[in-house]
Structures are given as C-alpha cells and as structure tokens.
Structure 1
C-alpha cells in the first residue's frame, strides 16, 4: 500500500444545491457569476481543520446552498459535507464563508 499524498494546491471550494456522497458529487451551483473559489486550510490538529481565508462567491444565482465540496488542483474531489443549516441566496447576492467558519473533522 502506498503512502497517502498531500492534495495538490490550490484547493477550491464548491457550493452544492444537492448534497453529494462518497460515490456521488451532488449538484453544484450553476449560473450568475458562480465559480469555485480558492480556499486555504489550517494545519490539522487532532484530525480537525478550518479555513484560514475569507471565501466569497459574488453575483450568485438564486438557489439554496445545502452542502460544500473541496477539490484539489486538477479537479479531484477530496472532501464533501452538508451545511449545518441551508442558506437561500437571491440572484446577485454574495455568499461568504468567514475565516474559521468551515470546520472539517476527519475521523
């Protein structure tokens, strides 16, 4: 068995309108000026990490964001999870993830 490799940067955050699973990517937001945004993560401690940068998605389409996914450079999905509470976004809104608000725990 080979050793795990570190994901290739930059990492990008995707917003989902239907949550994915380990075998399905879910449904990514489309429309408006939506595009995946770069995200940086703190060094893991005790199997947990969080984002160290403000992540902003500007000029969003009208949608309800229920989950997120993180992709490595080259497009491979490395993590997915549902939001604690879904967020309805109006057309033209900005959706932001504040520093430290995306908590990831690996177990």
Structure 2
C-alpha cells in the first residue's frame, strides 16, 4: 500500500502543525530508538526549525538555521535529528549529514533555507 502525494502532504502538515521542532547535531548517528551522541558543550544549543508548506511528499526548512559560534570543538557532525523540545524531549526524525563537518572553536554551523528536507518517500 502507498500514500498518494496528497496523503503524504496531509501527514506532513499534521506533523508540522504539531511543532515546534528543534534541530540537533550528532557526532554519532542516532537510530530508530534514539541513541547516538548529540553535540554538547562549547555554547552548543539546538535551533528551532521553521518548515515551509509540504509539496509532493516532502517539506524543507523555510529559513536558514544557524547554530551559535562554537567556543570549543564540537567534534565531527555526521547526523542530524529533530526533537520536540529545545532540551531533552523526544527525537522524532533523523538523518545523515551528506558531508560530515568537523566543527572547531570559532566555527558556525549553518543550514541554508531549503537544505533540510523531510520526505515521506
């Protein structure tokens, strides 16, 4: 069985409306049951994400997401996760970072608009 694009967009809209959601960076990727190693320390903090309107079974961030300037090494970001809270909370969506990035003191990690895409496919 499969959902139509309309069905996928409807579910993504429900997900979007249940927010807000906060983007986290991981140095060890999480999985279906959570886990992984989220970046911590060095001024790291999750960032709130604003999503655009779902279309054809996917939706992307509508504005850039910029993390604070690292005041210490954060390690190499290899994965991302969306949480339902700015701290603690539940991991609700996750994925790999296409090009892992070592984040050193003084670095700023930025996700440009439309570069974080959630897809039902």
Does the pair score TM above 0.5?
yes
* Residues 1:76 and 2:86 aligned together: no
Match of 1:14 in 2: 24
Q: Quick one: distance in 1 between partners of 2:107 and 2:68?
A: 6
Answer whether contact 2:34 2:91 (CA < 8 A) is retained. no
Match of 1:90 in 2: 104
Q: Quick one: distance in 1 between partners of 2:31 and 2:69?
A: 27
- Give the unaligned 5+ runs of structure 1: none
Answer whether contact 1:69 1:79 (CA < 8 A) is retained. yes
**What SS does the aligned partner of 1:92 have?**
coil
TM-score of the superposed pair, with normalisation by structure 1: 0.86
**Aligned CA-pair RMSD:** 1.8
What is the Cα deviation at residue 9 of structure 1? 2.4
Answer whether contact 1:58 1:92 (CA < 8 A) is retained. no
Answer whether contact 2:78 2:96 (CA < 8 A) is retained. yes
- Give the unaligned 5+ runs of structure 2: 1-10
* Residues 1:64 and 2:67 aligned together: no
Give the strand-richer structure, 1 or 2. Answer: 1
Give the helix-richer structure, 1 or 2. Answer: 2
- Aligned residues, how many? 104
In our comparison, the structure showing a higher alpha carbon Rg is 2
Match of 2:53 in 1: 43
TM-score of the superposed pair, with normalisation by structure 2: 0.77
The 4+ residue runs of structure 1 with deviation greater than 6 A are none
